[in-house]
C-alpha cells in the first residue's frame, strides 16, 4: 500500500479511473438525471421555504410568550398611577 508507484503505472491507473468516470457519466440515464434534478429542486425549495418561514415562527413564539390580559393591564395601571 505504501510502496512507491511507478509513474507510468500511476498515470495508467489515473487514465483508467478517468475513463470509468466518463463512461459512467455518459451512460447515466436521462431519468436518473431528471430524478436527481427533481430531488435537488425539492431540497432547495424546502430550504428557501424554511428560511422564509423562520421569522414567522419566531414572531409566533414571541406572541405566545407575551399574552397580556386586560386584567393584567388594569393591575399595571393601578400600580403605576397609584
- Residue 13: pLDDT band (50, 70, 90) is confident
Using the 8-state DSSP alphabet, how is residue 27 labeled?
T
Structural Rg of the chain based on CA atoms: 31
pLDDT for the residue numbered 28? 60
Whether residue 81 is predicted with pLDDT greater than 70 in this model: the reply is: no
How many angstroms from the chain centroid is the CA of residue 73?
Answer: 44
pLDDT for the residue numbered 6? 78
Whether residue 82 is predicted with pLDDT greater than 60 in this model: the reply is: no
Using the 8-state DSSP alphabet, how is residue 38 labeled?
H
Amino acid at each position: 500500500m505504501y510502496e512507491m508507484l511507478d509513474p507510468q503505472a500511476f498515470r495508467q491507473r489515473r487514465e483508467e479511473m478517468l475513463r470509468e468516470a466518463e463512461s459512467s457519466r455518459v451512460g447515466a440515464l436521462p431519468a436518473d438525471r431528471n430524478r436527481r434534478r427533481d430531488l435537488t429542486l425539492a431540497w432547495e425549495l424546502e430550504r428557501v421555504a424554511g428560511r422564509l418561514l423562520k421569522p414567522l415562527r419566531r414572531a409566533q413564539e414571541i406572541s405566545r410568550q407575551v399574552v397580556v390580559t386586560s386584567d393584567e393591564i388594569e393591575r399595571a395601571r393601578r400600580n403605576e398611577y397609584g
